[in-house]
Structure 1
């Protein structure tokens, strides 16, 4: 598990809106916000820090753990509603493992955002 991830975005307002809406279904919420940017966390132990950069950085693949397949689905639809682009609808990815249930969305700066559940179907 990571402690924190920090990355810059070219359009802070758009990215802030996108990440807040897209990651709300897995419990991510604002921990702090200030001049450099925003910090989000779901557990208070690890955080995602989005910084004002003014230019696009290299593309990232960020994968977040969901507790249920329903959270994966909720993330996907929230992320699309927030302006993300489909990069893989919710579903099993048997080429990874038999229980790898994930969805993928491209965010405002081209980052591939994934939410994955490793739990069996309820």
Structure 2
């Protein structure tokens, strides 16, 4: 069964800058802000919400991995994320411990979530 969406709670004080961070960073993976969400909630996706931020009393913490189209998208995700205020949690490269052809990068978003983008490379 496929996953419909992932939701992360973000403390109200951090909500606006976190939304801006994801707006910039997820664009590198083809995900855009979607219309129609109520105040205090922002959805990102292509045809429907795949990733949702919810303003809350406190932040939740998660590890979310996004599928990238190719290694260039992984590189762009990482560099854009760092430029937007993320902390590095693993530069782009092969993650042989996950899969011998898995190319990924990891960043901590502004509230501490471990966000990953990855793709399988050809042999």
| TM-score (normalizing by structure 1) | 0.91
Aligned-CA RMSD value: 1.4
> Secondary structure of the residue that 2:75 maps to in structure 1?
helix
Q: 1:105 aligns with which of 82, 104, 107?
A: 107
Q: 1:36 aligns with which of 36, 40, 49?
A: 40
**Residues in 1 aligned to 2:76 and 2:108: alpha-carbon distance in whole angstroms:** 16
Unpaired segments ≥5 residues, structure 1: none
* Residue 75 of structure 2 corresponds to residue 73 of structure 1: yes
Count of aligned pairs between the two proteins:
119
Bigger shift: residues 13-22 or 29-38: 29-38
- Deviation string, structure 1 residues 56-80 (Cα, Å, up to 9, x no partner): 22x2000000110000000000100
Unpaired segments ≥5 residues, structure 2: none
Partner in structure 2 of residue 26 of structure 1: 29
- Deviation string, structure 1 residues 81-115 (Cα, Å, up to 9, x no partner): 11000000000011111111000000011100000
> Secondary structure of the residue that 1:89 maps to in structure 2?
coil
Q: 1:91 aligns with which of 90, 93, 97?
A: 93
Contact 1:67/1:119 (<8 A) preserved: no
Bigger shift: residues 68-77 or 30-39: 30-39
Q: How does 1:48-67 map to 2 (within 5 A)?
A: 48-57=51-60, 59-67=61-69
